[in-house]
Amino acid sequence: MTTNARTVPAPRPDAPLLQVDDLHVRFRVRGRDVRAVNGLSYTLAAGETVAILGESGSGKSVAAQAVMGLLDSPPAHVDRGSVRLRGTELLGLPERRRRAYRGERISMIFQDASTALNPVFTVGDQLAEMYRVHRGLGRRAARDRAVELMERVRIPSAARRLGDHPHRFSGGMRQRVMIAMALALEPDVLIADEPTTALDVTVQAQIMRLLAALQDELAMGLVLITHDLGVVAGVGDRIVVMYAGSVAERSPVRDLYARPAHPYTRGLLASVPRLGSRGMPLVPIAGTPPDPAAPPSGCPFRPRCPRAEAVCAVEAPPLVTVAPGHDSACHFAGEVHGAGTV
């Protein structure tokens, strides 16, 4: 497949594949500002997987939709920040030009395939439309490409199933259809928003192996949004831990698992069952995430943090470097990273 150079400018080879800097997103709801994303920054290289991890409501999906340009405004407002794809600033582009990038250069797998796929149209129609609209192919050629795409994501009997509607597919197969749609135009960047939600562990593993294989084949950058620490450990290169819309910790995956520097990250790791720990109680994180419309003063994690002191109620902690490539937003990050336990 070839990229339509008439609609999307040529990339700058010296620029990072994707660079998100100081992204801030808020929603205006019933006269109140709800700050969903507060200063998210990360970079993504070709062939690399950056995982964005956090609880529900931490701002992961909102940030992804802001990067894709899919937020409705109002009520959403991107107050400041930068999203550059191969050096091209995407924020502020007219919608017509922004659409040229979606699918062509950056694409997204949505969290729930059962709602993301149109139940009225067949899977074949929905896949073939990508080629008719973006590549100008005729009906037969677009159908042939749709079959190839379904085979590529390992859907059995692809030609026969082209005429089936989404409800005729299992959850795992619907997710494969979503992956096929996202990869139809061979984008440089794929954002996968909880791609294994509601799937059993066997199907989860199949989907993640499929994504890894396609990523290697296309030299594609992958932004994986998840709350599953186990998934990240198997596929991630670097990880961004979000809490209450902010970056709590940012690190290479191995360093974060070996020496977490933020109390929230350490709490997440302590709450995950491990092999060989049968009969041992899990240690949950006390309390609940804060109301984004009324966040606590100082550090957003302070009300739940076992390490909190007076300074945590007064000053929001900056991101500090505790090791090469490893940053943490904690007043005591150096002590926690060096100690190995909270």
- Does residue 77 share a domain with residue 51? yes
Report which DSSP code applies to 303. Answer: G
Q: Note the pLDDT of residue 221.
A: 96
Between 207 and 142, the more confident residue is: 142
- Chain mean pLDDT for the chain: 89
| Predicted local distance difference test score (pLDDT) of residue 5 | 40
- Residue 158, amino acid: A
Name the β-bridge partners of 191: 108, 223
Supply 240's token pair. 């961004």
Asked if residue 230 has pLDDT above 60, the reply is yes
- What's the sign of the alpha-carbon dihedral 103, 202, 113, 235? negative
- Among the candidates 241, 257, 282, a domain finishes at 241
Query: Domain for residue 228, yes or no?
Result: yes
Residues 222 and 254 reside in one and the same domain: no
**What pLDDT sits at residue 24?**
97
Give the model's pLDDT for residue 304. 95
Query: Which tens digit of pLDDT belongs to each residue from 182-197?
Result: 999 999 999 999 888 7
Determine the pLDDT at residue 340: 46
Domain shared by 107 and 199, yes or no: yes
Do 178 and 266 fall into the same domain?
no
Q: Does a structural domain hold residue 266?
A: yes
The reply to whether 211 and 316 lie within a common domain is: no
What pLDDT, on the 0 to 100 scale, is given for residue 11? Answer: 61
Residues 176 and 254 in one domain: no
Under 8 Å between Cβ of 332 and 301: no
Place of tokens 């494969």: 176
Average pLDDT for residues 9-26, to the nearest whole number?
A: 84
Beta strands 32-44; 18-29: pairing state: antiparallel
pLDDT of residue 276: 66
Q: What is the mean pLDDT of residues 224-231?
A: 88
For the chain, the domain total comes to 2
To the nearest 10 degrees (0 to 180), the angle between helices 201-218 and 171-183 is 10
Q: Given a cut of 60, is residue 134 above it in pLDDT?
A: yes
191 & 101 share domain:
yes
| pLDDT tier, 69 (very low <50, low <70, confident <90, very high otherwise) | very high
Q: Please state which of the ranges 70-84, 218-232, 263-277, 320-334 shows the lowest mean pLDDT.
A: 263-277
Kindly state whether residue 125 falls inside one of the protein's structural domains: no
Q: Tell me, yes or no, whether 11 lies in a domain.
A: no
CA distance 335 to 228: 27
Tell whether 107 and 201 lie within a shared domain. Answer: yes
Is 321 part of any domain? yes
* pTM of the full structure: 0.89
Instruction: List, for residues 267-287, the tens digit of each pLDDT value.
Output: 999 888 776 667 677 788 989
294-316: burial string, b at 16+ Cβ within 10 Å, e else: ebbebbbbbbbbebbeeebeeeb
**Which residue segment(s) compose the domain that 111 sits in?**
19-120+165-241
Find tokens 């998934």 and name the residue: 231
Instruction: State whether 329 and 220 are in the same domain.
Output: no
Given a cut of 50, is residue 1 above it in pLDDT?
A: no
At 338 the pLDDT is: 52
Let me know if residue 153 belongs to a domain. no
Query: What CATH number did the domain enclosing 59 receive?
Result: 3.40.50.300
To which H or E segment does residue 240 belong?
Answer: strand 238-243
Same domain, yes or no: 30 and 70: yes
Residue 233 domain-assigned (yes or no): yes
For residues 328 and 235, membership in a common domain is answered with: no
**Residue 9 scores a pLDDT above 70:** no
pLDDT attached to residue 7: 55
Banded pLDDT at 3 (limits 50, 70, 90):
very low
In a domain, 128, yes or no: no
pLDDT at 203: 84
Q: How does pLDDT run across 292-329, given as a tens digit for each residue? A: 888 999 999 999 999 999 999 999 999 999 999 999 99
Which pLDDT score is estimated for 342? 38
Task: Count the Cβ atoms, other than its own, within 10 Å of residue 64.
Answer: 22
Pairing of strands 326-328, 320-323: antiparallel
**Looking at the predicted structure, is the pLDDT value of residue 85 above 70?**
yes
Those residues whose C-beta lies under 8 Å from the C-beta of residue 307, and which sit 6 or more positions away, are 263, 330, 332, 336, 342
Q: Are 186 and 235 within one domain?
A: yes
C-alpha gyration radius of the chain:
21
Instruction: Tell me how many helices (H) and strands (E) the chain has.
Output: 13, 12
Task: Specify the pLDDT at position 26.
Answer: 95
Cis omega (within 30 of 0) for bond into 74: yes
The upper half-sphere exposure of residue 44, i.e. CA atoms within 13 Å in the direction of its Cβ, equals 30
